[in-house]
């Protein structure tokens, strides 16, 4: 809905605008530790996004029934996948959403294997996912605090954004977050909240 310049929306129009702006956000939670540092960032992001009026669905991919892509390409990049597991639920949720958030601890300078497995399975609905033009974000934590700690993960994420036609909305790169206590005392929970609140 677009209003003429200098025109104030009536109450009904305001309600319509709020409904149009609200997004459905899916967070792919890629940490096997449900109460760890990645979870702290996710909780704060969710709080901020919900305060902004968006709905947030957190999917715990580490405890879901998800198998690695076999590379058979029988899906033809548009499905259905020959494997029958929880990826079908993730597919439905992503294709009905407006934004995807990748949340992962840094494992050997990349995303967790569980999250990478989900990303690899994008193969079976690649065309549909590309056409959605979803917004995206990255939430990640690492024990390390070197300035190059997240270089490889950032490069991977930016390549995904480019290839799948996502629109990057931001990254929270939690350096020196080796324990939940360290993370809670850091600036990163607030950054995650602000990212969600700013959407």
Q: Look at residue 120 in the predicted model and tell me its pLDDT.
A: 97
Q: What is the DSSP string of 35-68?
A: TSHHHHHHHHHHHHHHHTT-EEEEEEGGGS----
Residue 189 lies in a domain: yes
How does strand 99-105 pair with strand 167-174? unpaired
Residue 80 lies in a domain: no
pTM of the model: 0.88
Look up the CATH number of the domain holding residue 50.
3.40.50.360
Q: Across the 199 residues of the chain, what is the mean pLDDT of every consecutive 10-residue run?
A: 44 49 93 96 98 97 96 90 94 97 98 98 94 97 96 98 97 97 97 97
Residue range of the domain that includes 32: 25-54+86-118+133-198
**β-sheet bridge partners, residue 171:** 138
Q: What is the DSSP string of 161-193?
A: HHHTT-EEEEEEEETT--SHHHHHHSSHHHHHH
Tell me how many domains the chain contains. Answer: 1
Residue 160 lies in a domain: yes
Expressed in angstroms, the distance from the first to the final Cα of the chain is 18
Q: Look at residue 79 in the predicted model and tell me its pLDDT.
A: 81
Q: Look at residue 21 in the predicted model and tell me its pLDDT.
A: 59
Residue 48 lies in a domain: yes
Whole-number Å distance between alpha carbons of 68 and 9: 50
Residue 96 lies in a domain: yes
Residue 63 lies in a domain: no
């Amino acid at each position: 809905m677009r209003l003429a310049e200098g025109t104030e929306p009536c109450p009904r129009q305001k309600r319509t605008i709020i409904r149009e702006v609200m997004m459905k956000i899916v967070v792919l939670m890629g940490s096997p530790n449900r109460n760890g540092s990645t979870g702290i960032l996710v909780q704060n992001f969710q709080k901020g996004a919900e305060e902004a009026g968006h709905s947030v669905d957190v999917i715990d991919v580490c405890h879901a029934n998800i198998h690695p892509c076999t590379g058979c390409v029988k899906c033809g990049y548009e499905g259905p996948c020959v494997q029958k597991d929880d990826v079908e639920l993730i597919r439905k949720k992503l294709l009905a959403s407006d934004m995807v958030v990748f949340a992962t601890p840094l494992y050997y300078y990349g995303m967790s294997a569980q999250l990478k497995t989900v990303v690899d399975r994008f193969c079976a609905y690649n065309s549909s996912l590309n056409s959605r033009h979803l917004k995206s974000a990255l939430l990640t934590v690492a024990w390390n605090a070197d300035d190059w700690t997240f270089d490889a993960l950032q490069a991977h994420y930016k390549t995904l954004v480019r290839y799948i036609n996502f629109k990057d909305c931001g990254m929270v790169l939690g350096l020196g977050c080796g324990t939940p206590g360290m993370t809670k005392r850091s600036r990163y929970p607030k950054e995650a909240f602000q990212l969600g609140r700013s959407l």
